[in-house]
Amino acid sequence: MNLADVFTVVLVILGLMLLFIGIWLMAAGLFPTKVAACAEQLGESPLRCGLVGGLSVAPLLGLGLYLGKIAPNAPVKILSGLVITATILAALFGTAGLALRIGQGMASVRDQAEPWRRVLRGGVVLAITYLSLVLLPLTLLVGFGALVLAQWPRRRSGILAEPKAL
C-alpha cells in the first residue's frame, strides 16, 4: 500500500463524515420541529426507538433488495434504488435528532443566537464515533425509529395530562 492509497482511504472517510454532518444540518434547517421531536424521543426512550427502527427498516430494505433482485426491467430497479435510498435518508434525518441531543449536552453561550450550532457540535462528535463502524448502523436504526415515533402525537399521562374534550 503506497501513500496514494492511504490518502484515498483517509479522504473518502473524511468526505463521508462531512456528508453526514451536512445532511444533519440540512435536516435541522429544513425540519427543525421534527428534528427536535426526534431528539426528544431519543432522550426519553432510546431502546424503544431502536426496536421500532429495527422493525421498520428491515422490511423496507428487504423490499428494496427483493425488488432489485427480481426486477425484469429498469423502472423497477430504479424503484428498488429509491426505496433503499429513501430509507437511508430518512434514517439520517432521524439521526439528526441524535446529533441535536448530543449537541444540547454540550451547551454554549452562542446557542441562543445560532441554534444550528448544537447540531454541528453533536454531529461532529457523532461522526467521529462512526470511525468505530459499529455505531453507524446502530444509530441509523435508532434514528429511523425516532423519526417514526415522532410522526405520531405523544399521549401524556398522569397529573399533567390535558383533559379530553367532550
Summarize pLDDT for 142-165 with one digit per residue, the tens.
999 999 999 987 655 444 445 455
pLDDT tens for residues 56-106?
Answer: 999 999 999 999 999 888 989 999 999 999 999 999 999 999 999 999 999
| pLDDT score recorded for residue 154 | 66
| pLDDT score recorded for residue 156 | 52
Positive/negative CA dihedral, 56, 62, 68, 71: negative
Answer for the pair 12, 130: CB distance below 8 angstroms, yes or no: no
> In this structure, what DSSP letter does residue 162 have?
P
Q: Is the pLDDT of residue 166 over 70?
A: no
Per-residue pLDDT, averaged over 2-13, amounts to: 93
How far is CA 34 from each of CA 141, 150, 157, rounded to the nearest angstrom? 17, 7, 22
> In this structure, what DSSP letter does residue 110 have?
G
| pLDDT score recorded for residue 54 | 94
| pLDDT score recorded for residue 161 | 43
Where are the domains positioned within the chain? 24-150
Q: Is the pLDDT of residue 120 over 70?
A: yes
pLDDT tens for residues 12-33?
Answer: 999 999 999 999 999 999 999 9
| pLDDT score recorded for residue 163 | 47
| pLDDT score recorded for residue 99 | 96
Q: How far apart (Å, rounded) are the C-alpha atoms in residues 78 and 82? A: 6
Cβ atoms < 10 Å from Cβ of 90: 19
pTM of the model: 0.85
Report helix angle 135-150 to 74-104, nearest 10.
90
Q: How far apart (Å, rounded) are the C-alpha atoms in residues 27 and 32? A: 7
Q: Burial level of 51, CB count in 10 A (0-12/13-18/19+)?
A: middle
